[in-house]
Amino acid sequence: MLPLIGGVLGYFFQSGKSYRLPALFIGAGLIQALRLLTIDPEVIRWSWVPGIELGIYIDHLSAVLVSLVYFISLLVHIFSMHYMCGDPGLGRYWFKLGFFTTSMLGLLISDHLLLLFVFWEMVGFSSYLLIGFWFKETEKATSARTAFMVNRVADAGLIIGIIVLITMFGQAYISELNPIENTGWLTFAGIALAIGAFGKSAQFPFFGWLNKAMAGPTPVSALIHAATMVTAGIYLLVRVYPVLTPVALYLVAITGALTAFIAAVAALFQNDIKAVLAYSTISQLGYMIMGVGVGAYESSIFHLWTHAFFKAGLFLAAGNVIHFMHKANHDVDGQDMRNMGGLKKYLPFTFLTYLICGSALAGLPLTSGFLSKEGILGASLDAPVLIVPALAFVSALLTPFYITRQILLVFTGEVRKGLHVTNETFNEPWKPVKMPFALLALGSIWIFSSFNPFNAHGWYLGEYVFGPEEPVQSPYGIIVLMSSIVLVAMGIGYAYTQFKPGARKALEYKNLVEATGAIRFFLSGWAIDRVYAFFNQGTLIVSNFAALVDRKVVDRLVDGAGLMGIILGKGTGLFDRYVVDGIVNGLAGLSRMVGRTLAKIQAPGIQTQLAFMLFIMVLMIYWYLF
């Protein structure tokens, strides 16, 4: 509850120094959460209506994740002081942030599945509020709505799964879930629950919303993408793991691997600094989901933990870059990487953070990301079908490629767009704000996760969360280790040759920005580039395709169609546009119908309202009496 109180206070005392209040409350909550770490698993129940008991359940997993959420939330609060400074809706912002954090914490500690669902919805709703924070811009409001609606579709899956679990199997408490006989209904429930988790964790086919969620303030993106909302799906899957049937797990693993691959491909072609991060998040979430699917949920939680650190670091750093771009040059789009370049000079500290966190994302040895990712990769080899490890390893190659590309494009080379750096104070955020960066970057180094930089099962907290595990000696251990290092090295090396300062592609990237209308020139420039085509025909085709989609989107924006196009890889753009939007539209129609019916409660007058009220009252009395 503390974040909410802090948020409310922050809302009411917007002036002066009071913006520190919410952060203070989060800090207090963090201390509380650390205290939680020391206690034994605990179940608290209270009766709600006769026959149904709600409860909260805190075990080591919850305690660790609660601390994590508090920690990231605290850092985001601190960073927001810098990033959101001077925004007129600041009080509102604190309130929403507090609301969101509170819902997320509730989600992590609730025991009854229905309670979990309630918090699940609250998380969805508060994220809608946060994404649509700048609701005056129609595009952003639309993005928030789309994100919300896509989530709702998946939530339908979740509630169906919960209902089946409760009514058919009588398993309503997370702490009491146990394996039961494998029936068709159980598979159905498992798949439904998995769909719910896919929605929250932005998995195929629901990943479209995460990119749109980028419309929110950047610290919010850090909070949503790093520690909280998207990991709710993983958390749910880990929790319901005992009741997932092999078929459901199979589906989960395939979806995870597929998402990891699709999103990694999509991330290769993004121009928006936040969009790259968004797709990389989706890709990493795909890893986690896949990990659960192949039974390595420990590695998934481990990856969740490390991912929270380096992704929050990346987002905050990106936020800093955007902040800087906005201040330095008002005329250009501050999120477009085509306008950036050479920022190392101006933002050395941010660059350092970005570099460390980015290498963790890439899975470079000696970083936390390497450890956790390797655990998942190793486990993926146990998957029933070959496609899962295949996609996983390909994604592991693509990940270092796109993050290296991004770092090189943003921070190195020449400044592509004239920056008016008038005041040196713009360059780096003030001191207290550096703290989150430093903490997150440090958290991305191996030593804070596991003493041995090459032992994927050496997570400090692993034993604490899941109890002592028998040492699993994977037959592929050393092969996985070597191959992932090789893959990372290949990805980074290739990206570096392509995008190093002064390289042809880096220069062409600049061309693109000077005249967006001159994409034709850009394309023809590529066509001449026989050498490049010779080396990598495949990439050229995909790139051309992406460029085409890009042009389409640009044209559409010019035409004022106002559609937020997503530049996805092969086919995913089409899929997203037709299938996801179709579902969204269909759902919108359905909800409009339901809404019209229910609106009668509100609309005609006091007597109708009274009738409904009495009706509910009579029902409740019946419920209580009989």
Partner 1 sequence: MMAIPLIYYLLLSAFIFCVGLAIILIKKNGVFVLLGIELILNAANLNLVAFSKFDPTLDGQVFAVFSVVLAAAEAAIALAILLNIYKQYRSTNLDELNQLKN
Partner 2 sequence: MTLNILFFAFAAMIVVPLIYLLITKNIIRAAFAFAISLLGMAAIYVLLNAEFMAVVQILIYAGGIVVLLIFGVMLTKRSGDEGVFTAHHQVIPGVLVSLAFFVLLTQSIFDVNLAWGEEVTSTDQVKQIGVLYLTDHLIAFELIAFLLLMALVGAAFLAKKSDQ
Residues that bind partner 1 (CB under 8 A): 604-607, 610-611, 614
Q: Does 602 bind partner 2 (CB under 8 A)?
A: no
Number of Cβ within 10 Å of residue 540's Cβ equals 16
Q: Interface with partner 2 by CB under 8 A: which range of 110-118, 161-169, 560-568, 603-611?
A: 603-611
Chain center to CA of 3: 21
User: Within 10 A of 137 (CB to CB), how many other CB atoms are there?
Assistant: 11
Kindly state the DSSP code that residue 331 receives in the 8-state scheme. Answer: S
Stretch of 212-220, 274-282, 493-501, 616-624 lying at the interface with partner 2 (CB under 8 A): 616-624
Among 386, 528, 531, 625, binds partner 2 (CB under 8 A): 625
Residues 288-307 that bind partner 2 (CB under 8 A): none
Q: Which class for 560: exposed (0-12), middle (13-18), buried (19 or more C-beta within 10 A)?
A: exposed
Instruction: Name the binder of 585 from partner 2, partner 1, none, CB < 5-8 A by kind.
Output: none
- For residue 16, the partner it binds in partner 1, partner 2, none, with Cβ less than 5 to 8 A by kind, is none
Verify binding: residue 622, partner 2, rule CB under 8 A: yes
Nearer to partner 2, 482 or 614 (CB): 614
Cis peptide before 205 (omega within 30 of 0): yes
Task: Please name every residue paired with 45 in a beta bridge, in sequence order, or none if there are none.
Answer: 55
Tokens of 166: 């409760």
Residue 2 to residue 572: CA distance in whole angstroms: 41
Q: Is 606 in the site for partner 2 (CB under 8 A)?
A: no
Cβ distance to partner 2 smaller for residue 460 or 615: 615
Q: What's the min distance (Å) between Cβ of 611 and partner 1?
A: 5
Stretch in the footprint of partner 2 (CB under 8 A) among 74-82, 261-269, 511-519, 611-619? 611-619
The smaller minimum CB distance to partner 1, of residues 88 and 605, is found at 605
CB atoms < 10 A from the CB of 618, how many? 10
Q: Which pair of structure tokens corresponds to residue 556?
A: 């559409």
Residue in 179, 345, 618, 623 binding partner 2, rule: CB under 8 A: 618
Kindly indicate which of the ranges 172-180, 339-347, 549-557, 613-621 contains the residues binding partner 2, using the contact rule CB under 8 A: 613-621
From partner 2, partner 1, none, which one binds at residue 531 (CB under 5 to 8 Å depending on kind)? none
Of the residues 524, 561, 614, 623, which one makes contact with partner 2 according to CB under 8 A: 614
HEC string of 380-430?
HCCCCCCHHHHHHHHHHHHHHHHHHHHHHHHHCCCCCCCCCCCCHHHCCCC
In the complex, the smallest distance separating the C-beta of residue 613 from partner 1, rounded to whole angstroms, is 10
Binding characters for partner 2, 331-350, by CB under 8 A (x = yes): --------------------
User: At which residue do the structure tokens 């780096």 appear?
Assistant: 428
Q: How far is CA 363 from CA 139, 269, 367, 483, 561, in A?
A: 35, 20, 7, 12, 40
**Cα–Cα distance, 407 to 343 (Å, whole number):** 10
The partner in contact with residue 606, picked from partner 2, partner 1, none with C-beta cut-offs of 5 to 8 angstroms by kind, is: partner 1
Least distance CB 191 / partner 2 (angstroms): 39
Residue from 430, 535, 615, 623 in contact with partner 2 (CB under 8 A):
615
Residue range at the interface with partner 2 (CB under 8 A); choices 366-374, 469-477, 541-549, 612-620:
612-620
Residue 343's identity, in one-letter code, is L
460 near partner 2, judged by CB under 8 A: no
Least distance in Å: CB of 601 to partner 2? 12
Alpha-carbon Rg for the chain in angstroms: 24
Taking the complex as a whole, how short is the minimal distance between the CB of residue 607 and partner 2, in angstroms?
Answer: 7
Q: What are phi and psi of 430, to 5 degrees?
A: -65, 165
Considering the complex, what minimum distance in angstroms separates the CB of residue 179 from partner 1? Answer: 52
Residue type, 334: G
- CB hemisphere CA count around 46 (13 angstroms): 4
Q: Are the beta carbons of 143 and 129 closer than 8 angstroms?
A: no
Q: Which stretch binds partner 2 (CB under 8 A): 44-52, 515-523, 566-574, 608-616?
A: 608-616
Shortest separation between residue 307's beta carbon and partner 2, angstroms: 53
611 binds partner 2 (CB under 8 A): yes
Report how far residue 556's alpha carbon sits from residue 238's, in angstroms, rounded to the nearest whole number: 42
Which of partner 2, partner 1, none does 518 bind, CB closer than 5 to 8 A by kind? Answer: none
Cα-Cα end-to-end distance for the chain = 35
Nearest to 9 by CA among 131, 114, 95: 95
| 1/618 with CB nearer partner 2 | 618
* Contacted entry of partner 2, partner 1, none for residue 625, CB cut-off 5 to 8 Å set by kind: partner 2
- Contact partners, residue 302, CB within 8 Å, separation at least 6: 371, 372, 375, 449, 456, 459, 462
User: Rule CB under 8 A: is residue 608 a binding residue for partner 2?
Assistant: yes
- Angle of CA points 37, 39, 44, to nearest 5°: 110
C-beta of 548 vs 621, nearer to partner 1: 621
Binding residues with partner 2: total (CB under 8 A): 9
| Distance (Å, whole) CA 393 – CA 282 | 16
User: What residue ranges bind partner 2 (CB under 8 A)?
Assistant: 607-608, 611, 614-615, 618, 621-622, 625
